[in-house]
A and B are shown apart, each in its own frame.
Chain A
Amino acid sequence: MKALKDLKVGENGVVSEILTNGNIRRRFIDIGLIKGSLVKCVGISPFGNPKAYLIRGAVIAIRKNDCADILVTNEVV
């Protein structure tokens, strides 16, 4: 298990826990990021932060410190 921010480009993960609180927690849920969602890291910004993730068909950039509290398990494909 690791944090979403630690997914490397090209790696897949399945969300196992969202520990973030506050407004952004609801935002994550609303873009479809819930326990069990499949996420793929598809890119990294030139400065190394944020990274881009493929979430339910949409590419979404999230800063490292914003997704440090989302835990994912590596999916075996």
Chain B
Amino acid sequence: MELKNTEISPQNTIALMGNPNVGKSTVFNALTGMKQHTGNWAGKTVETAIGYFKNNSTTYKMVDLPGTYSLFTHSAEESVARDFLCFEDIDKTVVVCSAGCLERSLILALQCMEIKNNVIICVNLLDEAENLGLKIDLEKLSEILGVKVVGTVARNKKSLSGLIESLNCKENKTDFKIEYPEIIENAIEIIEKSLENFDFNINKRFLSLRILEQNRSFLKNVKLSNGRAIMEIPEINSALLEAWDFLKKEGLYENRISDFIASAVVKKAEKTAGEVISETKSRYSKRTELADKILTHKFLGFFVMLLGLCLVFWITIYGANYLSNGLSFLFSYIEKLLESFLNFLKLPNLIKDIIIDGAFRVTSWVISVMLPPMAIFFPLFTFLEDIGYLPRIAYNLDEPFNRCRSCGKQALTMCMGFGCNAAGVTGCRIIDSKRDRILAIVTNSLVPCNGRFPAIIAIISMFIVTLGGFFGSLLEALVLTLVIMLGVFFTLISTKILSSTLFKGTPSAFTLEMPPYRKPQILKILVRSLLDRTAFVLGRAVTVAIPAGIIIWLFANIKIENLSLLAHISAFLDPFATLLGLDGVILLAFILGLPANEIVIPIIIMGYLSASSLTDLPSLNIMKDIFIQNGWTIKTAINFIIFCLFHWPCSTTLMTIKKETGSLRLACLSALLPTLIGILLCFLINLIF
């Protein structure tokens, strides 16, 4: 459905709100069919996603706002959600609540209902609640709050029909009010009166409450149509002082007003939930409890974590082997076809060589060697995400991060980095404090992303573990796990160093939600991550590998004084690279690999091939021969792995860092930090061994 360019009137714009982890994105995806990635951890929706869907000839525009616990804490995400609700024209506001923890979900729902009179409450995850032995009386909930309430199991698309129906419903304006304690009501009255002559286009009662508690992050955006800020208006200011005076006489001081108001909302949510839920069992399901006992156990927890990591790698390596062989066979066949086709076109040899030896070969290497591990690792990683394991990893690893004076959520963003560093950097938005966020962003690329795994795996299987077969791949997985641990180790060390030098301070307090374990949607994971990943890598292969292949071919074939340009450049880099136990070609490949790490190994091979005349299919054995002919030893391999782990992040990640931090200096620092570590380690290894 291509509707993206259609103008949708605000009449059919729907905002989607909800706590993190209540299946909000699942509802969004089920309705719009958009491939927005959903994960089972708090704060996954890091940008507002927009999707469209059609029902009975009406087209709706749906805006998926960041998952938040409240509208009033001063985090960037919550401000986005709140300001959207307050200042945008929307027809319906759907607040997705989790049936499993309705009380807490209702806190946000009530806050939204104070702003908007068009709220629909969508109680999601009804199945989960049922398993917990909770019965929720949706009709009664609707009666108490006076809004439409629909129940859903978003993973089951059919159950969304109620929600869609309620969106169609035209008349749904509600007049909802939370009753505050009398003194607050009196104070509201004082302020509301001062607002009478002004039009801010925001619910006045809501606005009065925010003025009363002086919520600056909100009020700074509230202006009259002539641009005058709200708190600059004398009438309103004096009303505020009057209200404060009044409250002080009643024993409520300014700095406690906000608490007082918020607590009233929580109490209302508690009361409401109490009236509609009948509980038969404990809230913490026995299954989740047992799983947590094991997965976060003192010793077992780490054992399972490492074993799991190892298993994931093993499946990746073992499976990728088969895929790789098949693909390289396929590509050598295609190469022959392409060659005869070009011969048929009678193109000059130069052009033919550029196309086949340059563009085609690098691309086919990227696809046949690099794609398979990615295509297997990514679904496995998504699977861990989906069942809710990642927050447990963060929970297990929190204390080390605490010791390094950083936020516990950094463990979470580090894990996201395994999938893609750029995604990890964007994911750092879940960290509220700026200092902690910068620490997490700068250190994110110290763990290898999906684009670097294949290169590391290839080198491990060529040089470190030469044993083939079942045990070989098992051993490879172990070595790879060690490499990852090295990355995690240096993440901690660098965080520690940065937090005691450049970014001094105390880590901000945080709360980490551990959602119940959920049944993974295996088919969906497979389809989505395989298709998405494959499409992504293929896209990159076309946009990066083809030009890179052409450039490197030109480098290798343009001759100056009888030596190729490549030879000149690598000869120039050679002395330095040799200090690191690498060589000029490898270093050049890392430099040219800036747009995408996937092309590093193909470029190395191209570089070497330009000197020799090998023209065989790209299998690991032949690659190994080429490497050995060019002077590779185990030491080169180890240094390559180290440097692959610790060097500048890819350009996408760097640009994301620049965008997220708004600072070129921090982007440079993020490139410098891993590079320095890599150079230092390689230099030391080269010196010692």
Chain A: residues with CB nearer than 8 A to chain B? Answer: 20, 22-32, 34-35, 40, 42-50, 52, 54-63, 65-66
Contact = CB atoms under 8 A, between A and B. Distances in A.
B399 A45 contact: yes
Q: Is the interface of A mostly helix, strand, loop or mixed?
A: mixed
B70 A30 contact: yes
Nearest to B300: A46
A48 to B, nearest CB: 7
Contact of B259 (A25, A50, A56, A62): A25
Interface of B: 69-70, 72-74, 100-104, 107, 258-259, 262-263, 266-267, 269-270, 283-284, 288-289, 292-293, 296-299, 301-302, 395-396, 398-400, 402, 408, 432, 508-516
16 contacts: A25-B259, A27-B73, A30-B72, A35-B263, A46-B302, A48-B399, A49-B402, A56-B101, A56-B270, A57-B104, A59-B513, A59-B514, A60-B513, A63-B408, A66-B510, A66-B511
A66 B289 contact: no
Contacts of A62: 511-512
A32 B298 CA distance: 29
Contacts, number: 135
A61 to B, nearest CB: 4
A5 B292 CA distance: 19
Given A24-B508, A32-B269, A45-B395, A61 B514 contact: yes
Nearest to A32: B104
B398 A49 contact: yes
Q: Which 4 A-B pairs have the closest CB atoms?
A: A57-B101, A47-B399, A30-B70, A24-B509
A61 B408 contact: yes
A52 B292 contact: yes
A42 B290 CA distance: 11
B509 A66 contact: yes
A45 B296 contact: yes
Contacts of B398: 45, 47, 49-50, 61, 63
Nearest to B516: A59
Given A49-B402, A57-B101, A59-B284, A43 B292 contact: yes
A42 B263 contact: no
Contact of A30 (B262, B395, B513): B262
B283 A61 contact: no
Nearest to B293: A43
B514 A60 contact: yes
Given A54-B284, A61-B514, A26 B72 contact: yes
Contacts of A40: 284
A49 to B, nearest CB: 5
A62 to B, nearest CB: 6
Given A46-B396, A47-B398, A60 B259 contact: no
A60 B432 CA distance: 17
A38 B269 CA distance: 14
Nearest to A27: B73
Nearest to B283: A57
A47 B513 CA distance: 18
A12 B39 CA distance: 31
A32 B266 contact: yes
A53 to B, nearest CB: 9
Contact of A34 (B266, B299, B515): B266
B509 A57 contact: no
Contact of A29 (B259, B284, B408, B432): B259
Contacts of B270: 32, 56
Contacts of B511: 24, 27-28, 31, 60-62, 66
Contacts of B516: 59
Contacts of B259: 25-26, 29
A50 B395 contact: yes
A26 B73 contact: yes
A40 B282 CA distance: 11
A69 B104 CA distance: 22
A47 B296 contact: no
Contacts of B297: 46
Given A23-B432, A50-B395, 11 more contacts: A20-B509, A31-B69, A34-B262, A34-B266, A42-B292, A43-B293, A46-B302, A47-B399, A57-B103, A57-B104, A63-B402
Contacts of A35: 263
Contact of A27 (B69, B289, B298): B69
Given A43-B296, A56-B104, A59-B513, A26 B70 contact: yes
B262 A29 contact: yes
B666 to A, nearest CB: 23
Contacts of B400: 47
